[in-house]
Structure 1
Amino acid sequence: MLIYSMGSDQSPSEAQSGSGGQDCRVKVTADILNVRAGPGMDAEIVGKFRQDAETEAHPVVRNGFRKIDESRWAADEFLEPVSGASCG
């Protein structure tokens, strides 16, 4: 069964039964990790994560960048799924 949240940008494969949330949680392995507006090195920097920070993420990876949230991407090579996370 698939549940869609109103106003959600999730595709059916990202939607989770019950909560409409996601089960992907990642930890930052770099000293400082730039968060970008799009999946590429030329995209504007819109934030930063410090080492060992944890955040919810999407199972979507494009051009080596993992989708963190709408218009927020980070280099996947510096993100490690936490124990028990389902990040695809």
Structure 2
Amino acid sequence: MILGIPKRVLIIVAVLVGIGIIYVMGVDKRSSEGATGGPGGCKVTVTADVLNVRAAPDPNAQIVGKFNQNAQTGAEPVVQNGFRKLTDSKWAKTDFLAPVAGTACG
């Protein structure tokens, strides 16, 4: 017993907290992968093995996420410096994105 709580209860609580943390960390990725993009409904597929998502349309900008090959995500028709805007403060190199047929990526 630790602090009057049986070890078995502490272990169960720790496992549940761990599962909760893993779930919460995955929510952002799931929501971005299922996004419909900007007002035009642009959606793209990743063609690189692993694609870095950056905080700005600059190859030296901070990496704020990654997508694996064939992942699909919503995007906006905005392209700057060879990067497509995915959402606010999330940009990916256009060389490694292919617009999904039937979506308006501009």
Gaps of 5+ in 2: 1-37
Q: Displaced runs of 4+ in structure 1, greater than 2 A?
A: none
Gaps of 5+ in 1: 1-19
- Specify which structure has the higher proportion of helix: 2
- Specify which structure has the higher proportion of strand: 1
Match of 2:66 in 1: 48
Distance of 1:58 and 1:24 partners within structure 2: 6
Root-mean-square deviation (CA, aligned residues, Å) is 1.2
Normalization by structure 2: what TM-score? 0.63
**If you compute each CA radius of gyration, which structure gives the higher value, 1 or 2?**
2
Normalization by structure 1: what TM-score? 0.75
Match of 1:25 in 2: 43
Q: How many residues align?
A: 69
The share of aligned pairs that are identical, in percent, is 59
